[in-house]
Structure 1
Amino acid sequence: MAEQDSDRSVSQTVRAQLRLRDLILSGDLRPGERISELQAVEATGASRTPVRMALVRLEEEGLLEAIPSGGFTVKGFSERDVLDSIELRGALEGLAARFAAERGVSSRDLEPLKGCLDEIDSLVQRDRISIEAFSSYVTLNARFHVLLTELSRSPSLIRQIDRASALPFASPSGFVMTQSELPQAHETLLIAQDQHRVVVDAIENREGARAEAIMREHARLASRNLRLVLKNKTHFDLLPGLALIRTAGD
């Protein structure tokens, strides 16, 4: 019975966390807005203990900020905050690529990574890329980054990359869907895929410095996409949460 109660509490916490995250990323809860435990209970329909845990988890994700008087406020982000998060993720992924190259990987180790790249090729080499293809790219791109990170054989580094990728808007595919409506969309995907291929080649040839530099540069594509989207002020619906970002002119 105690185990069932624990499972139910965890389930309520996850549901409450997802619901509150949706409210934040949709803009229903705006940056600086205070949310109390009682408000969160009313918004999610969960009991107080799971809601309390959900709020703490959202604080750990970086979407909420605890306030001394009690409760939380929705956190806003400057453009620089997001760019710094992307740069941090790129630096860590670069280190993972260097570790993989310098420690050596077998042909068998690289097979899943190369197979993933072949699937991405089938998408990006089309003359016209649909929204559905972009969505498939997001899944495959996330898989590529996970597989590459695992080749580092460094559990501590993998944990840090997972943390960095969980920062708001810092994941490897964070701005892929928003770029889908931009004129440069297809060109950007081709550049990204070429960088994927080059870093795998560098790892295979045990060129650590080259592999690291490529992955750091690869992350900067996300920074470029962010600037383009914020400059155009369009297609915000393709990435929930963009309203949380303050640009230099705001």
Structure 2
Amino acid sequence: MAPTPADVPTTDGMPMLGLGTWENDDHEACVQSVETALEMGYRHIDTAQIYGNEEAVGEGIETADVPREDIFLATKVWISNLSYDEVLATTEESLEKLGTDYVDLLYVHWPAREYAPAETLSAFDELYDDGVIRRVGVSNFEPHHVDEAREHLDAPVFANQVECHPFLQQDELREYADEESLELVAYSPLARSDVIGAEPLTEIADRHGASEPQVALAWLREKGVTAIPKATSEAHIRDNWESLTLELSDDEIATIDDIARRDRKVDPDFGPDAWE
């Protein structure tokens, strides 16, 4: 039986499986993928200013037969827009493109370039107080960045979005998130498709009659990590969605935990020094 929205675990209203839209920059394809995902049952859509597709995401939401209030919508402020004035101005632009008067989660995309915690986060606080954003998030933050952000924010830091998958398991960040009541959201949860054909994921997938992406997503769910895999075709959107029916055994989870391979896919020159 196909999963329904009720089958998706949620944390403070955030579904633990969503649709990522990074590099989904063909307007019509993006509109169609968002509409397809929502009609299938997804209720979490993730975008960003730098993706250049907020307008298409908004159109897909408008086209789908799903009420806006049932959708958890997140976007991110790019690193060149993190001064106080630019946070406010570009967030207003994002809302206009998305066709909504609020977003459920607004992230600082990276602690880089124009990011100055006191200035940047005071703008986030203002947006939060005005109800324009329902939750404040950060992305690509190390624990010390989150600690510093909390010193400057009145609003709670709800989530940290980072690269996380079986080949970059982020043990330290997951432990920190558990200790600090911080949600961890995984981008590139399928390691840019590298999970396909990779052992031991293939063996586990074959055992269940599932796909390697489903195994990776089920593992993240067992770890309490929200996943936002990018997909454009209906087949891939559905394959990811059906990961919700896959239950891994304790031994299978431990086998994935023991993967020695470490492969970071996103490592720009402005990334945190701790990654070097």
TM-score surpassing 0.5? no
TM-score normalized with structure 1 length: 0.32
Q: Which has the higher strand share?
A: 2
TM-score normalized with structure 2 length: 0.30
Q: Which has the higher helix share?
A: 1
Q: Which has the higher contact order (CA 8 A, sep 6+)?
A: 1
